Structure 1
Amino acid sequence: MHTPTLIAVDRPQPAAIRAELLRGLRALPAVVSPKYLYDSLGSRLFAAITELPEYYPTRTEAAIFARHLPAIAAELPADLTLVDLGAGNCEKAARLLLPLRVRTYVAVDISLDFLQEGLERLQQRHPAVDMLGVGTDFSTRLLLPDAVGEGPRLLFYPGSSIGNFTPPDALEFLRQLHLAAQGGGLLVGVDLLKPIEVLEAAYDDQLGVTAAFNRNLLRHINHLVGSDFALADWQHRAFFDSAQRRIEMHLQALHGVAVRWPGGGRVFAAGERIHTENSYKWRADDFSALLVAAGFSAIRSWTDERGWFAVFLAQA
């Protein structure tokens, strides 16, 4: 049986991470990149979110693959290198390895520790597949090590994570993916516009798991910058902005809060927010046009019966 190889690429230095976070915390309004939601605990909490009844994207995307995977596989060559962006626990890709005839699986995630656990479990189930874990922040720049190899590549970006980017940033990111695909392809999940009540429930579940996921960000920030955020001072807020066509997630101060960190601090007024995530929702035709603008061609898409979610396959 093969053993997964783990490689850290372009790992940000602690000083640079601290500087980025403090710039965001000092901004008006305050903002923190959603990539900091995914420390080891945050990654586990998100995995729990995907099992909630309100969180439709994961199960809807899975249903699309269950129904249309033979058609998707027919469009692809054998002996693929599957590059899984934001792999997390690797479970989404696990369903694709055999149907897509994957030779090498490359799991890419910002949390290398969490990635290792998922890769080791997956390797036991697929002992003949070469597996590589790459720890990197691909949201700013996608760097793949030479160990990925030169075979036909399929970049896999599931779960509607493309929605975390503003449309201009999504275009730039897709251009990077086009370059990284090396003439192969891209398989990407895209969340589509739908009733507001469905969208908002998905990001503010009754059990409070998404709230815990969002508030865990403060614990992570404390670890990274030495701040003294108290989770009990903050509440989770999530709502749909119709003009921007996006879900916004925030942390809102329940009362006036003074937060300190080495060398400084900030006072947040009651009701003041820290913007933690956007999730843009697309129309299928608009996203196809975005792929074309990024250099992709031969675009195909599959959706569920309600038209809530789409999976796009495009040639680089």
Structure 2
Amino acid sequence: MSGAVSRDAASSQAEALRADALAGLAASPKSLPCKWLYDAEGCRLFEAITRLSEYYPTRTEVRILHESGPDIADAIGPGAAVVEFGPGDGTKAVQLLGTLQAPAAYLPVDIAAEWLDAAAARVSAAFPDLRVRPVVADFTLPFDLGGRAAGSRTHLGFFPGSTIGNFEAREAVAFLSRARASLRPGARMLLGADLVKETTVLEAAYDDAAGVTAAFDLNLLARLNREAGADFDLASFRHEARWNARLERIEMHLVARHAASVMVAGHRFRFAAGESIHTESSHKYSPDRLRALAEAAGWRPVRMWTDPEQLFSVWLLES
């Protein structure tokens, strides 16, 4: 039965990938949802990106959680059940839980059960006495925690990594609103958000000298070839990171080196030289913009922590 379920899930995912590819490549300008960057190879490459010297967000957020950990714990108080939206490998959860005062439970939420298992295992190994209850759900939609956090004083939503920046403003407000509805009344949220800074720093973080981010971006075309019946010539496209000052976001694009014709799932798409596929956006925030975003979703920002260089921010929001 599990094998059939896995095959059904894989088939559904391939169908969704094809549908998104056909719609996105037929649009003007061409684009693809950033979620499709993260197949197994994409996840491996992204983990490599987080260790690059140019990529400041991960290490800076970790530094803030470490150096401001006692202050964060005092602001949150004891007995919180930590509900992490998209836990990754659980590393940041281990760091946070290690600073909190008597956390009651850890509830990682993700649609991918295998990622949940890895995060839950890491947290359980670090805190054998902590109640760990994974929740298989799409955290961009409303979900029910049931009684998994019984006995906790409050819920603490945890959304690190500036993943909020992958949403358009309207989508970010909708996510934060739904997250608030999924948590217990009176819940809090610890939110990581990248800050606006010099263009050179931003572009280097998303287009490193070693070409790891380029490989990450181009891997999307390899995935389309493998899973969506495409015939992209990867050598005909290059990765480019662009700072969009008007929208305050870094954009990743795959740019055609020359005119090209590509088949995807039996449909032909033509590219002019220099035409691109927009594959990901990463919005950066001023404190005022992040505050307005949170308030529009019904949260009240109460504290912000940052690093000495003011590259990144961690916010505590109250509902």
The alignment's TM-score, normalised by the length of structure 2, stands at: 0.88
Instruction: Determine whether 1:302 maps to 2:308.
Output: no
Residue 17 of structure 1 and its aligned partner are, at CA, apart by 4.1
Contact 1:45–1:209, Cα closer than 8 Å, also in 2: yes
CA RMSD of aligned residues (A): 2.2
| Cα distance in 2, alignment partners of residues 166 and 261 from structure 1 | 27
| Cα distance in 2, alignment partners of residues 291 and 262 from structure 1 | 41
Distance 1:236 1:313, change over 3 A: same
Contact 1:300–1:312, Cα closer than 8 Å, also in 2: yes
| Cα distance in 2, alignment partners of residues 217 and 271 from structure 1 | 18
**Which residue of 2 is the match for residue 120 of structure 1?**
121
Contact 1:34–1:276, Cα closer than 8 Å, also in 2: yes
AA matched with 1:143: F
Instruction: Determine whether 1:25 maps to 2:25.
Output: yes
AA matched with 2:170: P
Residue 258 of structure 1 and its aligned partner are, at CA, apart by 2.2
| Cα distance in 2, alignment partners of residues 20 and 223 from structure 1 | 15
| Cα distance in 1, alignment partners of residues 221 and 120 from structure 2 | 28
**Which residue of 2 is the match for residue 37 of structure 1?**
37
Residue 54 of structure 1 and its aligned partner are, at CA, apart by 0.5
**Which residue of 2 is the match for residue 90 of structure 1?**
90
| Cα distance in 2, alignment partners of residues 252 and 73 from structure 1 | 45
Of residues 234, 237, 242, the one that matches 2:240 is 237
AA matched with 1:130: R
Runs of 4+ in structure 1 over 4 Å off: none
Q: 1:204-244 deviations in whole A, cap 9, x for unaligned?
A: 11111111111111223334422222322221110111121
SS at match of 2:57: helix
Residue 86 of structure 1 and its aligned partner are, at CA, apart by 2.2
| Cα distance in 2, alignment partners of residues 298 and 242 from structure 1 | 25
Compare the two structures and name the one with the higher helix fraction: 2
Instruction: Determine whether 1:161 maps to 2:148.
Output: no
Contact 1:38–1:111, Cα closer than 8 Å, also in 2: no
Contact 2:145–2:182, Cα closer than 8 Å, also in 1: no
Aligned length in residues: 306
| Range moving further from structure 2, 217-226 or 279-288 | 217-226
**Which residue of 1 is the match for residue 3 of structure 2?**
none
Contact 1:288–1:299, Cα closer than 8 Å, also in 2: no
| Cα distance in 1, alignment partners of residues 239 and 136 from structure 2 | 29
**Which residue of 2 is the match for residue 55 of structure 1?**
55
| Cα distance in 1, alignment partners of residues 205 and 270 from structure 2 | 31
The alignment's TM-score, normalised by the length of structure 1, stands at: 0.89
SS at match of 2:62: helix
Instruction: Determine whether 1:313 maps to 2:316.
Output: yes
Long gaps (5+) in structure 2: 1-5
**Which residue of 2 is the match for residue 3 of structure 1?**
none
| Cα distance in 2, alignment partners of residues 228 and 136 from structure 1 | 33
Distance 1:220 1:187, change over 3 A: same
Q: 1:107-130 deviations in whole A, cap 9, x for unaligned?
A: 233543344334323322222223
| Range moving further from structure 2, 157-166 or 218-227 | 218-227
Distance 1:155 1:223, change over 3 A: farther
For residues 237-276 of structure 1, what are the structure 2 equivalents within 5 Å? Answer: 237-276=240-279
| Cα distance in 1, alignment partners of residues 208 and 57 from structure 2 | 14
Instruction: Determine whether 1:176 maps to 2:178.
Output: yes
Q: Percent of counterpart pairs with the same letter?
A: 41
For residues 94-109 of structure 1, what are the structure 2 equivalents within 5 Å? Answer: 94-100=94-100, 101-109=102-110
Q: 1:179-221 deviations in whole A, cap 9, x for unaligned?
A: 1222211100111111111111110111111111111112233
**Which residue of 2 is the match for residue 5 of structure 1?**
none
Residue 250 of structure 1 and its aligned partner are, at CA, apart by 0.6
